[in-house]
Amino acid sequence: MSMPSRADWEHRAQHLTIEGRAFIHGQYVPAAEGATFECRSPIDSRLLAHVASCTAADADRAVLDARTTFESGVWSQLAPARRKTVLLRLAELVDIHREELALLETLDMGKPIRDALRVDLPAAANCLRWCAEAVDKLYDEVAPTGPDQLGLVTREAVGVVAAIVPWNFPLLMACWKLGPALATGNSVILKPSEKSPLTALRLAALAVEAGLPAGVLNVLPGYGHTVGKALALHMDVDTLVFTGSTRTARQLMIHAGESNLKRVWSEAGGKSPNIVCADAPDLRAAARAAAGAICFNQGEVCTAGSRLLVEASIKEPFMALLLEAIRAWQPGHPLDPATNVGALVDRQQLDTVLGYIEAGHAEGAQLRCGGRRIMEEGGGFFVEPTVFDGVSNAMKIAREEIFGPVLSVITFDDLDEAIRIANDSPYGLAAALWTADLSKAHRGARALRAGSVWINQYDGGDMSAPFGGFKQSGNGRDKSLHAFDKYTEIKATWIKL
Ligand code: NAD
C-alpha cells in the first residue's frame, strides 16, 4: 500500500469535513444544552471542530433511545448471522474510509499517520470482522439433567451498554467494545474521550450506512466527566465498559454502587516490566524491542514497557544497544509518513510527562538521553524519548504510569529478584521476559502477575487471545471470545418433562 506524502495529507486535512455533533438515533444532533468545546490538534494547536458538550440530559435521551431500540428487537432479536452481515459491512466501510479515518485520528490525537493507517485502522476493522464472524458460531449449553428435566444454559444480550473509552487508540478502543457488544445484540452508547472524539463520531455514520438500525449505536462526546458520570450513574444502563485510567475506573465502580449495580468492566492503567536476562537469545533484538515498547505511540500505550529490568552483568553493553535503538525513534511531524514519534495528545499530557521527568531528576535517577520538550515553535506538544538509568523501583517514575516516552531502567541480579521487582506494582497489565532458557521462561511466565506475558518479544497478540489486566489494571478481558462475557447474561431455564 503506497502512502500519501505529507503534502497530500496536509491538503486533505484542509478539505476535511469534520463532524462534531453528537449522534443519537441515527442522526447528528447538537447537545441538549447547545454547548460545545473546542477540539484542537496537538500537532499545531489548530482548531479542528467545535464538539458537542453533552450532559446528563443527552445521556437520558440516548439511554431512552437505546433502551427503546433494544426492546423493539430490531437488532437484539435479529439472527446472529444477520447481525454478522451488518458488522462485516461496517468493517468493510472502515477499510474503505481508512485514509480519512487515519487522518482524523492523527489530527485529533497526534499519532504518526503511518501508525494510524497501518496499525490502528486495520486493527479496528479486523476487530469488527472477527467479532462478526464469531457470533454465528457460538452455541449454548444443555445441562446434564435426569430424564424428566431439560436444563438450558443460554446467553442473552445484557441490554443497554455504555462504553467509555480513552484517547490513545480512539477508534481501536471503541471497536474493542463495539465489536462484541453489537455482535451479541446490545444497544450501545459510546462516550469517546474529549481529547479525541472525532473518529467515534464518524464511525457512527458508517455504522448506519452499513445497516445498523438507528438507536443501536449512539455517540455522546462531552467535556470532562459530565456525560460519563451521568452514564455511570444512570439507572437504565445495564453494563458499563471502560478503558482508561485506574483513577476513573475506581470512580465508575463507585457510581455503579451508588446507582443500579450495573456491571462495570474496566481496562485500566499499567506500568509494565520488560525483563532482559543476560542469556537473552538476541540482545540487539531485545534492545530494539525495548525502545519500541516505550516510544511507539509516544509512550501513550497502556502496555508501554516503561520499566526496563536489566540483569546487572550485561547492564552497560545493553545500555549501549538501547541508546542506539532509541535514536531511531525521534519526534517529527505526524503527517510526515517517515515520522515514528508524534505529538503528545495535549498540553495537559505534556505537562504531566515533563513533571515526571522533573521527578526523575529530583529523585536522583540519571538521565541517559532525551528529557526535553522540542519543536515548540510549531505550537505542538513534542517530547524527546527519555531514558533514566539507576532507577529504584520505589521511585515515582517507576511506580506511576507516565503515559509518555519516559523509560526507567532498573537492574537485578537473578530471576527471582527480577520477578519480585516486576510484581512490586499496583498494576498487572503486561510483562515481558527475554531468556533463552526454556525453564526460566516458563517459570517467569507463571510467576509474573500480569494479564499478558510475552517471551522474547514485546507486545505479541491478536484478536484470538484475551487482553486485560490483573490487580489495578482492571477486570474482565477485551478481544477473543472471553470479551463476549461482558456483553451477555447467562440464563438457566428448567423445563419439567
Ligand atoms: P481517563 O480515565 O482520564 O479517561 C478515560 C475516559 O473516561 C474518557 O472518555 C474520559 O472523558 C472519561 N472520564 C474521565 N473521568 C471520568 C469520570 N469521573 N466519570 C466518567 N467518565 C470519566 O483516561 P485517559 O487519559 O483517556 O486514557 C489513558 C489511560 O487509559 C491510561 O491509564 C491507560 O493505561 C489506559 N488504557 C488502558 C488500556 C487497556 O486496555 N488496559 C488501553 C488503553 C488505555
Instruction: For residue 268, give Cα distances in angstroms to 155, 194, 301, 429, 470.
Output: 27, 17, 11, 8, 10
Structure confidence at residue 157 (pLDDT): 98
**Looking at ligand 1, which residue's alpha carbon is closest to its atom 23?**
244
pLDDT digit string, tens, across residues 414-444: 999 999 999 999 999 999 999 999 999 999 9
Residue located nearest, by CA, to atom 13 of ligand 1: 225
Ligand 1 atom 28, closest CA = 244
Pick the residue whose CA is nearest to atom 11 on ligand 1: 193
**408 backbone dihedrals φ, ψ, rounded to 5°:** -110, 125
pTM (whole model) above 0.85: yes
Q: Decide if pLDDT at 305 tops 70.
A: yes
pLDDT given for residue 335 in this prediction: 98
**How far, in Å, CA of 326 to CA of 295, rounded?**
8
Protein residue whose Cα sits closest to atom 22 of ligand 1: 225
Mutational test site, ligand 1, from 173, 190, 245, max ligand atoms within 8 Å of CB: 245
The catalytic residue among 105, 194, 267, 300 is 267
Report the separation in Å between the CA atom of 160 and the middle of ligand 1, taken as the mean of its atom positions.
20
Measure 191 CA to ligand 1 centroid, in angstroms: 11
CA distances from 116 to 113, 131, 133, 306, 437 (A): 5, 21, 24, 22, 37
pLDDT single digits (tens) 4-49: 999 999 999 999 999 999 999 999 999 999 999 999 999 999 999 9
Statement: residue 382 has pLDDT above 90: yes
Atom of ligand 1 nearest to the CA of 231: 20
Measure 143 CA to ligand 1 centroid, in angstroms: 40
Mutate which of 55, 58, 164 for ligand 1 pocket (most atoms within 8 A of beta carbon):
164
Q: Is the pLDDT of residue 141 over 90?
A: yes
CA 60 to chain centre: 26
d(CA 177, CA 278): 40
Q: Ligand 1 pocket test: which of 54, 193, 346 has the largest number of ligand atoms within 8 Å of its C-beta?
A: 193
Question: What does DSSP assign to residue 365?
Answer: P
Report the pLDDT value the prediction gives residue 1, as an integer from 0 to 100: 61
Residue with cell 424428566: 148
* Local structure of 229: helix, strand or coil: helix
The ligand 1 site (C-beta within 6 Å) comprises: 164-168, 173, 191, 193-194, 225, 228-229, 232, 243-245, 248, 251, 267-270, 302, 401, 403, 429, 469, 473-474
The catalytically annotated residue of 175, 277, 302, 311 is 302
CA atoms of 301 and 306, how far apart (whole Å): 10
Query: Which residue is closest in CA terms to ligand 1's atom 39?
Result: 267
pLDDT digits (tens, 9 = 90+) for 234-246: 999 999 999 999 9
DSSP for 389-458 reads ES--TTSHHHHS---SSEEEEEEESSHHHHHHHHH-SSEESEEEEE-S-HHHHHHHHHH--SSEEEESSS
Cell of 144: 446434564
Q: Which three cell numbers stand for residue 32?
A: 441538549
Quick check: is 267 catalytic? Answer: yes
User: How close is the Cα of 235 to the center of ligand 1, in Å?
Assistant: 22
**What was the pLDDT predicted at 147?**
97
Q: 243, 250, 253: which to mutate for ligand 1, most atoms within 8 A of CB?
A: 243
pLDDT in tens, 92-140: 999 999 999 999 999 999 999 999 999 999 999 999 999 999 999 999 9
